[in-house]
Structure 1
Amino acid sequence: MTIQADEAAPSALEAAELPITSATRGGERQGLAERITLALFIGVPFLALLAAVPVAWGWGLGWLDLGLGVGMYFLTCHGITIGYHRYFTHGAFKANRALRIALAIAGSLAVEGPLVRWVADHRKHHRFSDKEGDPHSPWRYGETVPALLKGLWWAHMGWMFDEEQTSQAKYAPDLVGDPVIRGISRTFWVWTLVSLLLPPLVGGLVTLSWQGALSAFFWGSMVRVALLHHVTWSINSICHAIGERPFKSRDRSGNVWWLAVLSCGESWHNLHHADPTSARHGVLRGQIDSSARLIRWFERAGWATDVRWPSTQRIEARRAG
Structure 2
Amino acid sequence: MTATVSAGPKPLIEGQRNLATRIGVYVFVLLPFAALIAAVPLAWGWGLTWLDVALAVFFFYFSGLGVTVGYHRLFTHGSFKANRPLKIVLAVMGSMAVQSPPITWVADHRRHHAFSDRDGDPHSPWLFGTSPVALAKGFWHAHMGWLFEHSVTNKQRFAPDLLADRDIVRINKLFPLLTGLTLILPALIGGLLTWSWWGAFTAFFWAGLVRVAILHHVTWSTNSICHMIGERPFASRDKAANFWPLAILSFGESWHNLHHADPTCARHGVLKGQIDTSARLIWLFEKFGWATDVRWPTPQRLEKISAK
TM interval, shorter chain, is over 0.9
| CA-CA distance at 1:61 after TM superposition | 2.6
Q: How many residues align?
A: 301
| CA-CA distance at 1:28 after TM superposition | 2.1
In the other structure, the counterpart of 2:262 is 275
Residue 88 of structure 2 aligns to which amino acid in structure 1?
A: I
2:247 paired with 1:255: no
In the other structure, the counterpart of 2:5 is none
Q: Percent identity?
A: 59
Residue 17 of structure 2 aligns to which amino acid in structure 1?
A: Q
Q: How many Å separate the matches in 2 of 1:89 and 1:157?
A: 20
- Equivalent position to 1:152, from 139, 142, 155: 139
Q: How many Å separate the matches in 2 of 1:130 and 1:319?
A: 20
Following superposition of structure 1 onto structure 2, how do residues 180-259 of structure 1 map, counting pairs within 5 Å?
180-259=167-246
- Equivalent position to 2:165, from 167, 178, 181: 178
2:66 paired with 1:83: no
| CA-CA distance at 1:25 after TM superposition | 2.4
Q: How many Å separate the matches in 2 of 1:247 and 1:24?
A: 31
Q: Are 2:96 and 2:181, in contact at CA under 8 Å, matched by a contact in 1?
A: yes
Residue 292 of structure 2 aligns to which amino acid in structure 1?
A: T
2:110 paired with 1:123: yes
In the other structure, the counterpart of 2:291 is 304
Q: How many Å separate the matches in 2 of 1:200 and 1:162?
A: 32
In the other structure, the counterpart of 2:126 is 139
Q: How many Å separate the matches in 1 of 2:135 and 2:20?
A: 30
Alpha-carbon displacement from aligned partner over 1:121-154 (angstroms, at most 9, x marks no partner)? 0000000000010000000111111001001101
Residue 142 of structure 1 aligns to which amino acid in structure 2?
A: G
Question: Structure 2 unaligned runs (5+)?
Answer: 1-7
Runs of 4+ more than 3 Å apart: none
Question: Structure 1 unaligned runs (5+)?
Answer: 1-18
Residue 51 of structure 1 aligns to which amino acid in structure 2?
A: A
| CA-CA distance at 1:237 after TM superposition | 0.6
Q: How many Å separate the matches in 2 of 1:60 and 1:111?
A: 24
2:244 paired with 1:288: no
Q: How many Å separate the matches in 2 of 1:126 and 1:176?
A: 19
In the other structure, the counterpart of 2:43 is 56
| CA-CA distance at 1:60 after TM superposition | 5.4
Q: CA RMSD in A?
A: 1.0
Q: How many Å separate the matches in 2 of 1:191 and 1:60?
A: 26
Q: How many Å separate the matches in 2 of 1:268 and 1:126?
A: 15
Q: Are 2:76 and 2:106, in contact at CA under 8 Å, matched by a contact in 1?
A: yes
Q: Are 2:12 and 2:157, in contact at CA under 8 Å, matched by a contact in 1?
A: no
Q: How many Å separate the matches in 2 of 1:37 and 1:178?
A: 25
Alpha-carbon displacement from aligned partner over 1:187-236 (angstroms, at most 9, x marks no partner)? 10011011010000000000000000001001100100000001000100
Q: Secondary structure at the match of 2:156?
A: helix
Q: How many Å separate the matches in 1 of 2:209 and 2:243?
A: 26
Q: How many Å separate the matches in 2 of 1:246 and 1:114?
A: 33
Alpha-carbon displacement from aligned partner over 1:226-282 (angstroms, at most 9, x marks no partner)? 000010001001100111000000000000000000000000000000000000000
Residue 76 of structure 1 aligns to which amino acid in structure 2?
A: S
Q: How many Å separate the matches in 2 of 1:32 and 1:155?
A: 23
Following superposition of structure 1 onto structure 2, how do residues 85-104 of structure 1 map, counting pairs within 5 Å?
85-104=72-91
